[in-house]
Structure 1
Amino acid sequence: MELQQVPTVGGGAASEGTTLLLSDDEVRRSCDMAAIVDAIEAALGDAPGPQLALPPRSNLAVEGTFFRVMPAIMSRAGVLGLKMFHGSFERGVRYLVVLCDIETGVVASMLDAAYLTAARTGATSGVATRHLAREDATTVGVIGAGVEAETNLAAVAAVRRIERAKVFSPRPSRRAAFAERMGAALGIEVVPVDTAQAAVAATDVVVAATNTGAGGPVALRGEWIEPGQHIVSIGSTMPSRRELDVPIFTRADAVVFDVQADTVAAESGDVLAWRELDGQAVSAVPTLTELLRAEVPGRRRADDVTVFKSIGAATQDLAAAVAVCERARALKIGTSVRSIADLKTF
């Protein structure tokens, strides 16, 4: 497989010694989903090694506040940096991405990463859908009506000729608003439905993007899955949270994670439950990088059921940030300030 060229930090910010600041609204205005999908696919083509340093993420917590730091060095893109977020589900969470130019060391950009996180999550699902869903997929079932449900549907539509989608949310007003909003945004028919099972029925791609809560019921059940479907799950990123039941995994013909299996199992209640039943099967699940590098097979037959489970990684965040910053500079969006972090010489 020929891997795409990774976008680089560009636009002159690093060479001029300035730092580009982007607010959440400016990030939204600078997002091009198709470009972010391509950027993340290119970045994921590098396995950890000479071109990529991707250490384990750091998870800290104290008195009800969690703090996660996800660093990476991406030589091919010419950047190093990190994504960090902190807070609590009760009080809210703040997200930040910092990009530095490898050659000059200049802090090239700092971005509010709230919407960026949703965009890169959707775009990574788009990469997986491009390589795992049937080529003739035209319909999507969406469980969830939040911002990540939006970005995941947009990314699926960026890689397949989607004509119709169905959406379920427990709140009728939210699913109706989602259908109206996304139908207009994507130029397709989006229909609200009354149950999660109805959203899944007779669709080619299923997106589960939910917040079921600690100890809550699963959103998607294996008994609803039909032959040939591709399933995307992004909503269980803490050990206490569940989105899929175990039969989703056990009946699948191919399962792919976005990062290493032990990391996913440590942070996703869905995969933790599967590991308790069959640890060997979980350990054997390949990464999306391995799939892109043709080191493992994906879909073999039209009626295969494929599953992509995502919890996020710094490479996804940094690649998405680079793509957003390049577009922001082209559109003259954002604020350039004197370079943050002066050079100290020894």
Structure 2
Amino acid sequence: MSLAVLDETRLSDPWRPTPARDRHRPYRRSILTLLLSDSEVRAACDIGAMVPFLEAALRKEAKGPGPRLPERVNLGHGRFFLRVMPALLPESGLLGLKFFHGSMPDGVRYVVAVCRLETGEVEALVDAAYLTAARTGATSGVATRCLAREDAAAAGVIGSGLEAETNLRAVCAVRPIERAKVYSRSAGRREAFAARMSESLGIPVTATGDPRDAVAGTDIVVVATNTGPDPVTAYEGAWLEPGQHVVSIGSTTAALRELDVAAFTGADTVVLDTTLEQMSHESGDIIAVLDAAPGRLAPVALDQIITGEVRGRRSDRDITLFKSVGSAAQDLLGAAHVVGEARRLGIGTEIGEIAAPKRF
């Protein structure tokens, strides 16, 4: 979808706001709710196309009254957990939520519910396992387009899981990447990742057994791991090189670490995709920086970079760092993009509207 179309209609046709003449009759008809499985999401999802979609939508939200993103709800019971992430996006005409639950040993299930803001109609229920990784990569792509040098040609990846894959895809969609290197602790996984991504991206991707070698001499670094508890980290600030852009999408709980403190203090610009307050109790990386170097962290919001309010890169030698823990806005917009594509392609199962209005 072109950005011009997005700007004109807010989002694709399934998300077009209710015409003004009908706004006082929100339940004038019954829609069909679309159900999308994980395999159907994968079939409808193009991360390269999701990047400009997300960027345009997030820019519109930032320039409008602003999205409503309440604090996440986290519940636990023994080894099981539930996290609920609601969002209301006025400029996109959307409301909804993502919830995911389960445990690391037993597996985690992800669901996004997408609703029309002005009618309350439930447009879709989406399996968000792959979608979460896709929107994470697409958001990193947005940040990379705004922060990395335009001539960036080499990427280094630490991690060989799904998030590493989607982030590398997004990086390659916004910069002319010609080669990449990958490290992970498992030799088999990093070799398989290199072979799979070489074929998929059409560039040489080389596996290495040394994490520093994976990022040395590269223009963009992707760190996508679940390394473990403090003080274990996957990437060190001593490895930073002038002009590099670093993407870090792990350390999304207080117990996990991915970057050391020097990675943050050594960067010229640090960009966050959620508030510092949220990250200060949700990301082990940010908690460590605030504890070890109080007053040293002065991050910029991704919204400020997207709208041009703040210039993220001032020279080719600047080191930029994007730290992401994700947001409900990203989930909802990513789902909207995939649902629009799925309807266009005839993918998914339509059922009668799953939630009829109760009148008072």
**TMscore range, shorter length:** over 0.9
Are 1:322 and 2:336 an aligned pair?
Answer: yes
Residue 296 of structure 2 aligns to a residue whose secondary structure is helix
Q: Counterparts in 2 of 1:8-157, with a 5 A limit? A: 8=12, 10=14, 17-45=31-59, 46-47=61-62, 50-157=65-172
Give the residue type in structure 2 aligned to 1:20.
L
Deviation at 1:278, TM superposition (A): 2.8
Structure 1 moving runs of 4+ over 6 Å? none
Contact 1:328 1:334 in 2 (8 A): yes
Given that residues 114 and 122 in structure 2 are in contact (C-alpha distance below 8 angstroms), is that contact kept between their aligned partners in structure 1? yes
Would the alpha carbon gap of residues 262 and 279 (structure 1) be closer, same or farther in structure 2, given more than 3 Å must change? Answer: farther
- Corresponding residue to 1:296 among 293, 310, 314: 310
Residue pairs, 1:258-297, within 5 angstroms: 258-282=273-297, 284-297=298-311
The answer to whether residue 345 in structure 2 is matched with residue 331 in structure 1 is yes
2:358 is matched with: 344
Query: Please, which of 218, 237, 243 is the counterpart of residue 233 of structure 2?
Result: 218
Is the 1:99–1:108 contact (alpha carbons within 8 Å) kept by the matching residues of 2? yes
* Inter-partner Cα distance in structure 1 for 2:288 and 2:323: 14
- Partner of residue 311, structure 1: 325
The 1:192/1:286 distance shift into structure 2, 3 A limit, reads same
* Structure 2 unaligned regions, length at least 5: 19-28
**CA distance in 1 between partners of 2:324 and 2:199 (Å):** 27
Could you say which residue in structure 2 is the equivalent of 1:189? 204
Whether the 8 Å contact between 2:15 and 2:116 is mirrored in structure 1 is no
1:251 aligns with 2:266: yes
Unaligned runs of 5+ in 1: none
Describe the shift of the 1:214–1:92 C-alpha distance in structure 2 as closer, same or farther (beyond 3 A): farther
Instruction: Output one character per residue of 1:215-236: Cα deviation in whole Å (capped at 9) or x when no partner.
Output: 4620001111111100000011
Instruction: Please name the residue that 1:176 is paired with.
Output: 191
Aligned-residue CA RMSD in angstroms? Answer: 1.9
1:164 is the counterpart of 2:168: no
Structure 1 residue matching 2:321: 3-state secondary structure: strand
TM-score (norm 1): 0.95
SS in 1 for 2:88: strand
The more displaced of 22-31 and 64-73 is: 64-73
Report Cα offsets for 1:286-336 as digits up to 9, x if no partner. Answer: 210011122222111101110000000011001110110011111111000
Structure 2 matches for 1:217-236, cutoff 5 A?
A: 217-236=232-251
CA 108–121 in structure 1, closer or farther in 2 if over 3 Å, else same: same
Work out whether residues 126 and 152 of structure 1, in 8 Å CA contact, stay in contact via their aligned partners in 2.
Answer: yes
The size of the alignment, in residue pairs, is 343
* Structure 1 stretch displaced more, 209-218 or 80-89: 209-218
- For the residues of structure 1 that align with 2:209 and 2:79, how far apart are their CA atoms? 36
Matches of 1:286 and 1:299, distance apart in 2 = 12
Identity across matched positions, percent: 53
Deviations, residues 256-295 of structure 1 (Å, cap 9, x unaligned):
000111111211111100000233333x312100111222
Structure 1 letter corresponding to 2:352? R
Aligned amino acid, residue 7 of structure 1: L
Distance in 2 of aligned mates of 1:243 and 1:127: 21
Which moves more between the two structures, 222-231 or 53-62? 53-62
* AA partner of residue 306 (structure 1): T
Counterparts of 1:152 and 1:209, CA distance in 2: 8
How far did residue 7 of structure 1 move? Answer: 2.0
Alpha-carbon separation, structure 2, partners of 1:191 and 1:111? 35
